[in-house]
Structure 1
Amino acid sequence: MIETSTPTSAVALVTGANKGIGFQVALQLAERGLTVVVGARDPERGRAAAADLRSAGADAYPVTLDVTDPVTVRQVAGWIDERFGRLDVLVNNAGAAEDPGHRPSSADLDLVRVVFETNVFGVLTVTNAVLPLLRRSAAPRIVNVSSGMGSVTTQSFPDSYLAQVPATAAYPASKSALNALTVQYAKELRRDGFLVNAVSPGPCDTDLTKELQNAGFLITRTPAQGAAVIVRLATLGSDGPTGGFFGEDGPVLW
């Protein structure tokens, strides 16, 4: 069992928080007493999500945040600085994927770049922009939302569930790169008290998995179930792990 301990006055930024797993992460963090900054590309959807969170008792604030746009990222970092003066938790949840038919042998390189822009470069952009704010926290936490599809080992097991998913060019590779990036951040920031981890929320019923479900794959996990492990890693106690890859049942193979 991963022990968690985060002050109720803590401030969390969740990217892609207007729906699906991201919304549930924001809700569950708020239920633990955290203030949540709801990042969303679409301002209207962000405001609607924050309103829903507030109606549930959350202390929630919407911000327009496109992780692929450094201008909006800097604006959000500046707003958090002015409003709160620090950041305690960053959940890099925003993600992109291609449809299951996008084979490596016929890959559209422009589409691959789009996926990497969100899933890898977007994480770098957001994380580096808010690092000065996280350094002001007594217990800074970074959680990168990855995927079991980023596990090279699991994908290589012929009888695993993920080995049955059609081969695609961008999404699995981008999540493997995100896992590697997570380890490098953990190495760099360990001495500064940061805990940085990657999480596989499991296959959840979200917009990101609609194509797989249409292709006949049964997905029964809810976004709330997927969010739970993310929230545990986002609220780790001081003796928690760093530089790891975790799922609902514990460490995930790289």
Structure 2
Amino acid sequence: MRTVLITGANKGIGFETAKQLLEQGFSVYLGSRSLQNGLDAVKELAASGLTNVEAIALDVTSLSSVKSAREQIAEKTSALDILINNAGINGGMPYTALEASEDQFLATFDTNVIGVSRVTQNFMPLLQQSDQPRIVNVSTSVGSLSLQSNPEWPAYDYAKYAVYAASKAALNMYTVHLAYELRNTNFKINAVCPGYTKTDFTGHNGGEVEQAADRIIKYALIDELGPSGRFFSEETNPVSGEIPW
């Protein structure tokens, strides 16, 4: 049975992604900064008959928490097939480049960029034991330098979240380098935008969470001929899915 770890999976897109992968027969480790919130999410899934899931306390901003999570999972499985780096924060208000505080930038980068690096590096030994390891870094079209600087982009005048966008642009660059370093292996690593989705993150505005999770899963399950080191947003480009960095 294939295994997957999803960070920030106790609610929203992460939770729905866990649900859909469980329905497809995966064994899911549901990462949650609060263990109790994770246990509550597991209980909700179990009520739907989805039981092959375990809550793992995982705070991506804490190295000790990440290491502890890795040790717990390593006791249960010799290989991790999929890592979905979903945990993220938007940095809070004010969102603008001229007003956002130093603390906002530090906290957001610690979660959205350094947190991804912490988790990826620490779980790499387990991923390397998989025959088809996959990493999806959950990004956003808001992190595209090309789109953000293009006045013709439909979201040009309202997608200006300086802290969040800067962190996701940095995550995208991390994805490029990670994919490059693993280019001669069986890894597939991509940045995926799930789209503007109805969650706590957006004040419950946007598209359906089921569609967002489906977009992430599509790139978590690509075969050996699939892309690596690419950036996808099917909301932005419904034809090929790929968007510019």
TM-score tier, shorter chain, comes to: over 0.9
- Equivalent in the alignment of 1:251: 242
Distance in 1, matches of 2:62 and 2:141, equals: 27
Of the two structures, which has the highest relative contact order with CA contacts closer than 8 Å and spacing of 6 or more? 1
2:14 aligned with 1:31: no
Say what the alpha-carbon RMSD is for the aligned residues.
1.3
Match of 1:138 among 125, 131, 136: 131
Distance in 2, matches of 1:224 and 1:167, equals: 26
Count of matched residue positions in the alignment of Structure 1 and Structure 2: 239
- Equivalent in the alignment of 2:42: 50
User: Residues 33-76 of structure 1, C-alpha deviation per residue, up to 9 Å, x if partnerless?
Assistant: 11000000111110011122223233110010000001110011
Question: How is 1:103-118 mapped onto 2 (pairs within 5 angstroms)?
Answer: 103-118=96-111
Opposite residue 226 of structure 1, the aligned amino acid is A
CA 1:237–1:166: 2 relative to 1, 3 Å: closer
Gaps of 5+ in 1: 1-8, 214-218
Secondary structure of 1:142's aligned partner = strand
- 8 Å Cα contact 2:112-2:168 kept in structure 1: yes
2:231 aligned with 1:241: no
2:69 aligned with 1:76: yes
- Equivalent in the alignment of 1:154: 147
Secondary structure of 1:94's aligned partner = coil
Secondary structure of 2:83's aligned partner = strand
Single out whichever of 101-110 and 38-47 deviates more from structure 2: 101-110
Distance in 2, matches of 1:185 and 1:57, equals: 37
TM norm structure 2? 0.94
TM norm structure 1? 0.90
Distance in 1, matches of 2:172 and 2:30, equals: 24
Gaps of 5+ in 2: none
Identity %: 41
- Equivalent in the alignment of 2:5: 13
Structure with greater helix percent: 1
Distance in 2, matches of 1:161 and 1:43, equals: 40
- Equivalent in the alignment of 1:4: none
